[in-house]
Structure 1
Amino acid sequence: MIAIVSAPSNLGLRPPVPGAVPGTSKAPEALREAGLHAALSARGAIDGGAILPGRYVDDPGRGERALRNQGAIIDHARRLASRLVALRGGGHAPLVLGGDCSLIVAAGLASRTTGGAGLVHIDGHTDFRHPGNSAAFGSLAGEDLAAAIGEHVSEIADIDGLGPYFDAAATAHIGCRKDDAELAEVLARIAVTVPADQVISHGASAVAERVLAAPGLSRGFWLQVDVDVLDPEHMPAVDSPDPGGLAPGELVGLLRELAPRAWGAAITVFDPDLDPTGAYARLLAGVIDEGLARLGEDAAPD
């Protein structure tokens, strides 16, 4: 049974303009208003509560800290992970509505605490910037996949000695654009990498079959979905829209086949500030309802 968890964090993002606060923290309530909670509740989903983040501070200098909002991110990750562990132990499949994609750290802590599993990272970018390949690191929402497999500073990649949170051999990425700066590194580093153009050309079913057949993912996985995987023609309400992404039907097709094997999922980076009419919230609510209806049904127990 799905348990809906609100995690309205914006801590891993750069400010959209100087002095402003990213709008992703408004996403869970925008999706509720768009009818998502009612639709999932009709399928038997329960309310898993909310894990609120600390205050967002634009801290570009950071001093001794490696990341913007580092302390708040770590605190939020621990508290969200605790909720995920409790829900998983109770037989629920947590569906986390974020928020930004720094939430992957909480999923990693929960995964390690409950016995480990793989990661399927669906995102319009590889999010693999890290200290080893860029001097511009410091905003975790563009570095979450790197942190998830241990390619980041220990403060974020090894919280409580639990890193790496996911084994690179049990990690798949789907959806980056073919000109992504870190694509070659990710191809060499993790088990399965499928850029968006290959999803479009080969079809969602073939890509899902390839992911599900990967040996490291046979015990299940956490499903991390950044909605900028969608083409901005369909979903411009994200912080970094790039052309060449998926259509909503292609994303639904992927999620339908992957979701039953996933023990939980997160939806991230939708920004209601860029959706004044609510049209994109309604579109996204439909994608989630259709794609994740069977979340966790075939997942291995913890």
Structure 2
Amino acid sequence: MPIDVIAAPTNLGLRPPEPGSVPGTAKAPEALRAAGLIESLSDAAGSTGGAGAVVDAGLVPAGRYRADPAPGATLRNEAAIDDFTRRLADAVDLSLGGGRAPLVVGGDCSLVLAPLLALRRRGRFGLVYVDGHGDFRHPGNSDRADTLGGEALAAAVGLHVDSVSDLEGRRPLVRGGDAVQVGCREDEEDIDELEQRLGAVVPAAEILAHGPDAAARRILEIVDVEGLDGYWIHVDIDVLDPAWMPAVDSPDPVGIDPVDLAALLDALAPGAVGADLAIFDPDLDPSGEHARTVVDVVHRGFARLGTRAR
């Protein structure tokens, strides 16, 4: 199955890093392309007997970033996120309809709603949400629920405002029991609610203690089962410890390392219908060193994306 690399240069789901500035995640697709992402993934896919062809499937531009929510809106950039999500969903839908495995390269975590919308149009799918944070803030548990990048998983399972949780009247995009959060820190403020509402939570400490293969087996028991039409993988690169990946907006200690992340993804990717990659910020990587780390994870983790997907 060929892999379609779809660029999604969005920063709409993040707070400004400082007054008067904008988040740099919208620059990530171009920075990763310059670091050799497509060529590296193509080489890996061919050498492993994986997907073979890796196609540059173009770019879906996001709207203009604004730092504060518009009057009457709950989320900053709420209208722009709605528009971008639908257009990106159409691009993912086109890739899936052509028998290919989309790899969406962003961008911030709010972009995950687009592929989930595309999949929800087709049936019932699971979600593997690999992220150093729970992204489970929502109006029911916080009075600060105004930034979708830190709330995307809650939106995906239907707990946020209608504009992001009830897209096309399809709430929820993913049933809570069909989703697994992977890689959050054990001091995650919403971990109790995550464990209550999701199919499973696999914290970073568990991966560090038992290894990526054991984590993958536990995850697949939830998402690779009868009753589901397949599953999607979301990867926020801040699941890595800042010792390896400081070029993210919210680095936290006790993450995993690139070798374990690549091994985990390599175990999960063959059965997935597609994946996305989020939160790398080139503004925090002037030398390009950390872009090369991301490219290496993709090279080793996604070469077999979609090869066994239902």
Q: TM-score, normalised by structure 1?
A: 0.97
Counterpart amino acid of 1:193?
Answer: V
By how many angstroms is 1:80 displaced? Answer: 0.4
Residue 230 (structure 1) aligned to one of 217, 235, 240: 240
Secondary structure of the corresponding residue to residue 267 of structure 1: strand
Q: 2 CA distance for matches of 1:149 and 1:78?
A: 17
Residues 68 and 215 of structure 1: CA distance in aligned 2, closer, same or farther (over 3 Å): closer
Where does residue 56 of structure 1 map in the other structure?
A: 65
Q: 1 CA distance for matches of 2:152 and 2:263?
A: 24
Contact 1:78 1:106 in 2 (8 A): yes
Q: Deviations over 1:76-106 (max 9, x none)?
A: 0000000111100101000000000001110
Contact 1:117 1:217 in 2 (8 A): no
Secondary structure of the corresponding residue to residue 119 of structure 1: strand
Q: 1 CA distance for matches of 2:124 and 2:285?
A: 37
Where does residue 103 of structure 2 map in the other structure?
A: 95
Where does residue 16 of structure 2 map in the other structure?
A: 15
Contact 2:184 2:203 in 1 (8 A): yes
Secondary structure of the corresponding residue to residue 273 of structure 2: strand
Q: Deviations over 1:146-200 (max 9, x none)?
A: 0000011112100110120001111111000000000110011100101100110
Counterpart amino acid of 2:184?
Answer: C
Q: What does residue range 212-291 of structure 1 map to in structure 2 within 5 Å?
A: 212-214=220-222, 217=225, 219=228, 220-291=230-301
Where does residue 182 of structure 1 map in the other structure?
A: 190
Q: 2 CA distance for matches of 1:41 and 1:5?
A: 14
Contact 1:127 1:146 in 2 (8 A): yes
Counterpart amino acid of 1:240?
Answer: S
Q: 1 CA distance for matches of 2:188 and 2:42?
A: 38
Counterpart amino acid of 1:48?
Answer: A
Secondary structure of the corresponding residue to residue 249 of structure 2: coil
Counterpart amino acid of 1:24?
Answer: T
Counterpart amino acid of 2:159?
Answer: E
Structure 2 residue runs without a partner (length 5+): 47-52
Q: 2 CA distance for matches of 1:182 and 1:192?
A: 14
By how many angstroms is 1:215 displaced? Answer: 6.0
Contact 1:223 1:262 in 2 (8 A): yes
Q: 2 CA distance for matches of 1:144 and 1:50?
A: 21
Contact 2:224 2:231 in 1 (8 A): no
Counterpart amino acid of 1:74?
Answer: D
Secondary structure of the corresponding residue to residue 38 of structure 1: helix
Q: TM-score, normalised by structure 2?
A: 0.94
Q: 2 CA distance for matches of 1:199 and 1:81?
A: 31
Q: 2 CA distance for matches of 1:104 and 1:162?
A: 15
Contact 1:77 1:105 in 2 (8 A): yes
Counterpart amino acid of 2:162?
Answer: S
By how many angstroms is 1:38 displaced? Answer: 1.2
- Give me the CA root mean square deviation: 1.1
By how many angstroms is 1:40 displaced? Answer: 2.2
Secondary structure of the corresponding residue to residue 107 of structure 1: helix
Secondary structure of the corresponding residue to residue 214 of structure 1: helix
Residue 86 (structure 2) aligned to one of 78, 85, 97: 78
By how many angstroms is 1:217 displaced? Answer: 4.8
Q: What does residue range 108-257 of structure 1 map to in structure 2 within 5 Å?
A: 108-214=116-222, 217=225, 219=228, 220-257=230-267
Q: 1 CA distance for matches of 2:223 and 2:208?
A: 24
By how many angstroms is 1:39 displaced? Answer: 1.6
Secondary structure of the corresponding residue to residue 188 of structure 2: coil
Q: 1 CA distance for matches of 2:223 and 2:93?
A: 24
Structure 1 runs of 4+ with >6 Å offset: none
Contact 2:130 2:233 in 1 (8 A): yes
Residues 224 and 155 of structure 1: CA distance in aligned 2, closer, same or farther (over 3 Å): same
Residues 120 and 215 of structure 1: CA distance in aligned 2, closer, same or farther (over 3 Å): closer
Question: In the alignment, is residue 46 of structure 1 matched against residue 55 of structure 2?
Answer: yes
Where does residue 33 of structure 1 map in the other structure?
A: 34
Counterpart amino acid of 2:166?
Answer: D
Residues 111 and 215 of structure 1: CA distance in aligned 2, closer, same or farther (over 3 Å): closer
Where does residue 106 of structure 1 map in the other structure?
A: 114
